[in-house]
Structure 1
């Protein structure tokens, strides 16, 4: 088996915007390292190293591949096992041919949600893929979307070459956990990955679970990225965390769009409002978990008249903003998120907020049918 360089060699690390060099290997990041000094909540760091949409891409005539990784997961003291680390998926010539469970590495033990934490150090583990087709082929190794994963070593029993240029457009998407898709059944089962495959484009998924809050550093990141298509799924975190009132929400949306347009004045840009979430449709946040594990809104509906935000208010405001800007921006578009997952499908929200794996796949198909249609915004 040959050891293949993870950086600076033939392998492309797509979907990652930066890498951290660690004592064991490299950790892909979905935000540039410079953004660290601009966010205060450590959860941003945690979700930015969860590699949703990140994959190793190359050509090879190898029949066997090995990827050595060191994962990072959590475990409550009351749980018998660590949280699932997800799966690695192998695509050959664009077809999913094998899925392998990612080994458990470091484990952060917790007394309870938000409780005392202690690290149980782990060791790297190796995932092997055998029986690959003979001859030169295009290979993609997709990392688990929900688990920070250090890349320690890639080995192959044949030649490894850089991927060929295929002319596919680059789609940059930013959203919340509902686009990060921790609950998907695998990294190619997230709705952005499903939609990208159907649309024949390359996706860069900048969705940050719990952190789609119109942060300026995210807008600047998108502004500076090469992009042929851009979409923003906005609203659920803003309502569930109660971070804006109506007075401040509209200008923040305008500012986010203005920053992106500074770098992409004519790129097709699709603004997507929240999917259905019964708890927050007419009641403001913030939210909490009820004893049965369901999301509950704790705000006062009477506050809506004074500027508190609900999903209904956010959808109306996003639609209004897009309509107003379309007079001078013909490449700006709007999609009501309920067209991706509507009020008659809320049984697929296990906690009342996050879709299950089949629902994510439906969302990807519906997004693709809208965005990549002959008259769609990404046509």
Structure 2
């Protein structure tokens, strides 16, 4: 009984502090009234797959709100199904922002596009305020350096002083997150500048990767990782490059790691494993490995990688590789739908919350009237509650075959 009472007292003491540490987001989106808004986090930096954190509905004025659980500073993506922007959230942060685009009717809004969120009365101690201020300053400094072409010695001097100034500021700052941001800002900007005396690949490896833990949740670290190890196979010795192709073909994970370890900047086993995943990820968008080989190796990594997080990344990349590409057969069997044998199928993706999608329906009805006897029309949409009469009316406009897909499909 005493133990239960003690637990209750501890919980009562902790609950207010945990609740107080929450961050709040209040958004104003006058062009997106009574529409769904979402808050996501990236599951991992290689697959870029997003994990839903919260969902809400904007009101009749276009206002929406999110409460963000307490935790370390982290990057969040916020927006509608078609438009989104990002911000960094810290404990006790209060974020008033505008979610406004130049034209909510823009025809490109059927795509996932990124917009810049506008902060209102942002606290000067907030991580976003500090980062935005730094970015404005560094852009101006880099612009001045860019035009210093006639005197290479002066250009080198300016770069060295700028780098020293940034690292000095990083040492003074009390936020570990902002320190890392400044440090990797140097890596992503100044260290990538081509100038006399610029650091070599080996210098950069020793500074940013050697005997250092992988920072999976730091977007600044991962940005530099992707730049540094871009097209890694082309950086390898030609013999090793040939051998690793064989290791991919034979699904020999240990051999792959051994070959990668021959590179002077491959690092420890964790970093090498991540480099291997990055090679496979880049191969998905190139033709130097057959798709079947990429898929088999990702499946192997998802099951056999010695690193739990890497198994998750490999699985997420597998989900990405399963996406349809031009020329791929459409998986009608997954829809439990058998198309007509003698008719081509026109597949239409539809979002009843999207203005442009709704405007398309009139043109589709004309196409159906003209070609409906020769072409089969099929509309796919995400199943979700229709929140207003406009969305219900938009769905009712589709008089041909339509199939709803689960939100997590």
Alignment TM-score > 0.5, same fold: no
Structure (1/2) with the larger helix percentage: 2
Structure with more relative contact order (C-alpha pairs < 8 Å, separation 6 or more): 1
Structure (1/2) with the larger strand percentage: 1
Larger radius of gyration: 2
